[in-house]
Amino acid sequence: MNLILLGAPGAGKGTLAAYLIEKMGVPSVSTGNILREAIKNNTPLGREAKQFMDAGQLVPDQVVIGMLKDRIAQDDCKNGFILDGFPRTIPQAEALDKIASIDCALSLEVPDEVIEGRMTGRRVCLKCGATYHVKANPPKTPDVCDHCGDRLHVRKDDHMGVVRHRLATFHEQTEPLKDYYGAQGKLKSIDGTQGIQQTEQFATAALGL
Ligand code: ADP
Ligand code: AMP
């Protein structure tokens, strides 16, 4: 299955993707993680993306579309993939339709007032990409990744001023994708405000897994 996870920044896409990887046996592709890795390695892509990401703006379509095409052309995506954070604009969705057949777009519905607490409590491992939350999903040792032992970080774009800007961008540019996939009969929506396990159950039922 080729699945898209839609939802506001901080809605829980990456957290749900980590669960669905096991359940579906396909990889997840997070454009945000690819870009953060590029920044960490100071590549030309990373240098181009950094200014946009730090300001909570979208990286230009042509940059992320090229990056996504290269990633899903890799062997591990042959039997399906989970997209987390792509597409984020209508031009990205149109470009995706030209290179892959999407089975479902699953939207995690979480209101803005819940998102703020999710993002300010988020801690990430820049080494392995694992995501935690200080209350909802704390690491065993504070600020240390359970998986690889690296130190956890607060993302620069998870500070409140930037979060508000990212939410506005989401409503303006990404939310219209619900109508885009709805018109194709591919949209499914679940309540993303409940706990992590409950969200996993809602997703499992919606996807018929
Ligand atoms: P996204 O990938 O959509 O930006 P994340 O998966 O990184 O969002 O989740 C954002 C934050 O909220 C993380 O700190 C994560 O641990 C936490 N989180 C994710 N899903 C839930 C949930 N259902 N209930 C409570 N907290 C959650
Ligand atoms: P995420 O990890 O999905 O929250 O993404 C973090 C940041 O990376 C976003 O705020 C954007 O600056 C950038 N980004 C990730 N995916 C995309 C995309 N599909 N289109 C444009 N920018 C993106």
Query: Do the domain assignments include residue 39?
Result: no
Query: Do the domain assignments include residue 50?
Result: no
Range 49-58 average pLDDT: 94
User: What CA–CA distance (Å, rounded) separates 23 from 12?
Assistant: 17
Assess contact for 114 and 92: CB atoms under 8 A. Answer: no
Ligand 1 centre distance from Cα of residue 106 (Å): 15
- The pLDDT score that the predictor gives to residue 98 is 97
Range of the domain at 108: 2-26+79-207
Range 77-85 average pLDDT: 97
| Closest C-alpha to 101, from 126, 128, 83 | 83
The torsion angles phi and psi of 125, rounded to 5 degrees, stand at -100, 120
pTM: 0.97
Query: Do the domain assignments include residue 196?
Result: yes
Q: What is the pLDDT of residues 136-182, one digit of tens each?
A: 999 999 999 999 999 999 998 999 889 999 999 999 999 999 999 99
Find the helix packing angle between 31-40 and 61-72, rounded to 10°: 100
- The pLDDT score that the predictor gives to residue 34 is 95
Task: Enumerate residues 6+ apart whose C-beta is below 8 A from 124.
Answer: 130, 131, 132, 152, 153, 154, 155
Q: Which ligand is nearest to the CA of 174?
A: 2
Q: How confident is the model at residue 121 (pLDDT cuts 50, 70, 90)?
A: very high
Q: What CATH number did the domain enclosing 171 receive? A: 3.40.50.300
Query: Do the domain assignments include residue 42?
Result: no
Candidate from 29, 30, 69, 88 with most ligand 2 atoms within 8 A of CB, to mutate: 88
Residue showing tokens 């990401």: 53
Query: Do the domain assignments include residue 54?
Result: no
Query: Do the domain assignments include residue 136?
Result: yes
